[in-house]
Each structure stands twice: as structure tokens, then as C-alpha cells.
Amino acid sequence: QVCTQKYIVKNYFYYYLFKFSAALGEEVFYITFLPFTYWNIDHSVSRRMIIVWSIVMYIGQVSKDILKWPRPLSPPVVKLEMRTNAEYGMPSTHAMAATAISFSFFMATMNQYKYPFELGLVAAFVFSTLVCLSRLYTGMHTVLDVIGGALISAVLLVLLYPAWDTIDHLLLTSPLCPLLSIVVPLVLCYNYPKLDYYSPTRGDTTTILGAAAGATVGFWLNNRYPAPTRTSNSVQLGFPLIPSTMVVVLARFFVGILVVLLTRRFMKSVVLGVLGYRYEFPIHDLEARRRLEVEVPYKFITYSSVGFTATVIVPLLHELLGLK
């Protein structure tokens, strides 16, 4: 269903605030913040966030397509987004992701870094609240969708937190980790709930699980062949940051993001080219790219390559360039 309702923006502060907040629950945020944490803050924090993020998002996406609760009707609601309009509403995966990422970051760092507990708690609450409110402002979810998403995410965090160390240890040391990290997500993607019409939820879920799978293999490989550790120029969660450290942090980030984006573009072209040859369709054929046998391998291979590059190739490049 295409949203054609016209609207006039009367309060540009709220408009841009909530449009920006909505982006904090989308790929542009995941592909920048999660790698930034790995490159510049703490490997263990990043690992825990990615574990929680992938589990929470998979459960949220599957729940949508099982429950099949519709999004708010437009009109009367004005919808400011187009892409996700084809998805169902309950639960809000933006709310789930924002709650999971902000509070898992807080929980993973509160005992490792010196900063006021209240400040970390408030920051996590403000971040998740802004993303939740953005879903109401943009007309994409009801209040119940948002509350449901945040509560589901909170329950999953409570359940996963006691097992964090055990899961992390197994991912780093188990000889079965690389195999299971690829096979289990692929099985989940190929057996995703079927709908009567195309929805981007399966593709988005494959993207998330693929990125997490590639990163998990990278974590395991780095533990077996230790990657450069962050010592003198790592970000310490406090202020002020000394200028030299800030320069190195920014350099690591921009070099890493450039490599990640190039990897995504290259792998996307290669995988689509191979699949197009195999199934005899032009790579720009959108309908063909939505088929199960195309969408799952295309997105899984592309984003698992992104996850692997971010955790293995980029740190090696940082070391080569002296950004350590």
C-alpha cells in the first residue's frame, strides 16, 4: 500500500528531531555505531551488543509476521515513511532495537568504565525514548506497538543478561562456532514465516542475521589469532577526550566505514551477478531479487561479508596504517 497523503510541516524542530531519531533504529545506525564500538571502545561490549541485537531483532521481525497486526490507518494518521509501510505493526522493531542497543551498551559498560551510573541510565532511557516517540510521530506505529516492542526487548535483556558471559565464551572458544554461526541463521532465514504478499521483513532479518553471523566468525577468528587490542588510543567513557586520541578515533572510524561500504557494494554486485546468471534474471529486476532463493543468499552473503570485514579486515588495516 502506497502512502500518498499530503502534509505540511509546521514544527521543524520536532520534524527533524524525530526523523533523525527514527534513523537511529535503521541500518545506517547499525552499520556505524556497532563497528565504531568494536574499533574504538571495547571488543567485549561490541560482542554483547551484537548478540543481543540479532536475537532481539529476529524475535521482533518474526513476531510481526506471525501476529499480523496492521499499522495505523492513513488517514487519519499521516505517515512520513514509505519503505516499512508494507510491514505489520506489532511489535515495533525500532523500539526493540533502540531498547536493546542502548541498555545492553549501558549494562555492558557500567562495571568496566568509570562514569556516573545515573548518567548512563538516563542516556539509555533518552535514546530509546526518542526512537520510540519517533515511531508515533512518523505515523508508523500505535502506542501499543511501541510499548509492546520496548517491553519484549526489556524482557529479553533480563533473560539474556545472566548468560552473557557463557554465550560470549562459547562464541570465542567453541570449535563449532564458525559452522553454527553460519548454518543456524541460514536455516532461520530460509524458514522465515511466509506471507501472502511481499514484505521487507524477511530481507531485513536476513541482513541482520548475516551481519551478526559474519561478525561472530570474526570474533572467533580474532580470539584464535588475536587481533590488535585497543590500548593507549581507545575511547574511555569520560570527558574530555585529548585531541590526539580523537584524531585516531575518527581516522579509525572513517577508514573502517569506507572499507565496510566498499565491501558491501562489491559483494552485492558479485553475489547478484552470480545469482542472476544462475536463475537467469537481470540484476536490476526487483521482483526476481525478492524471490526466496535469491533474496536470502544475496543478503546473507553480502552482510556476513560486511560483518567479517568489520571485525577482521578493518582491524588489520588499522594496524597496517598505524591506527592503534
What is the full per-residue pLDDT of the chain (324 aa) written as tens digits? 444 567 777 778 888 888 888 888 787 888 888 888 888 888 888 888 998 999 999 999 999 888 888 888 777 777 777 666 667 778 988 889 889 999 999 988 887 778 788 888 999 999 999 888 888 888 888 889 899 999 999 999 999 888 888 888 888 888 998 999 999 999 999 998 887 777 788 888 999 999 999 999 999 998 887 654 444 445 444 444 556 778 888 888 999 999 999 999 999 999 988 988 888 888 788 888 888 888 899 999 999 999 999 999 999 998 888 877
Crossing angle for the helix pair 117-137 and 143-160, nearest 10 degrees? 150
Q: Report the pLDDT value the prediction gives residue 232, as an integer from 0 to 100.
A: 40
Task: Specify whether 20 is located in the same domain as 77.
Answer: yes
Please list the active-site residues. Answer: 94, 141
Looking at the domain assignment, is residue 30 inside a domain? yes
256 and 123 in one domain? no
Residues 140 and 185 in one domain: no
Judgement on whether residues 14 and 111 belong to the same structural domain of the protein: yes
Domain boundary (161, 186, 208) is at: 161
C-alpha cell at 101: 542497543
Range of the domain at 294: 165-226+240-323
On whether residue 9 sits in a domain, the answer given is yes
- Residue 231 in domain: no
DSSP state of 239: S
Q: How far apart are CA 230 and CA 39, in angstroms?
A: 8
pLDDT for residue 233: 45
DSSP string, 8-67: --S-HHHHHHHHHHHHTTSHHHHHHHHHHHHHHT-HHHHHHHHHHHHHHHHHHHHHHHHH
> Is 235 part of a structural domain of the chain?
no
Neighbours of 289 (CB within 10 A): 18
Q: How many domains does the chain have?
A: 2
C-alpha cell at 232: 593507549
- Is the domain of 148 the same as that of 220? no
What's the first-to-final CA gap in the chain, in angstroms? 49
Co-location of 176 and 319 in the same domain: yes
Given 110, 135, 161, the domain boundary residue is: 161
Picking from 300, 93, 296, the residue whose alpha carbon sits closest to that of residue 213 is 300
What distance lies between CA 193 and its chain's CA centroid?
Answer: 21
Domain boundary among 124, 141, 161: 161
Q: What is the pLDDT of residue 42?
A: 83
- Which string of DSSP letters, residue by residue, matches 201-221? HHHHHHHHHHHHHHHHHHHHH
Distance of CA 316 to the CA centre of its chain: 23
Same domain, 123 and 214: no
Peptide bond preceding 76 in cis form (omega within 30 of 0): yes
pLDDT of residue 4: 54
**145 and 182 assigned to the same domain:** no
Asked if residue 65 lies in contact with residue 103, where contact means CB atoms within 8 angstroms, the answer is: no
What is residue 299's predicted lDDT score, i.e. its pLDDT? 92
Q: Is 139 left (phi over 0), alpha (psi -120 to 50) or beta?
A: left
Residues 317 and 188 reside in one and the same domain: yes
Are residues 106 and 199 both part of a single domain?
A: no
Same-domain status, 141 and 247? no
C-alpha cell at 220: 572467533
Residue 233 included in any domain: no
Does residue 246 form part of some domain? yes
Furthest CA-CA distance within the chain: 58
Q: For residue 77, tell me if it sits in a domain.
A: yes
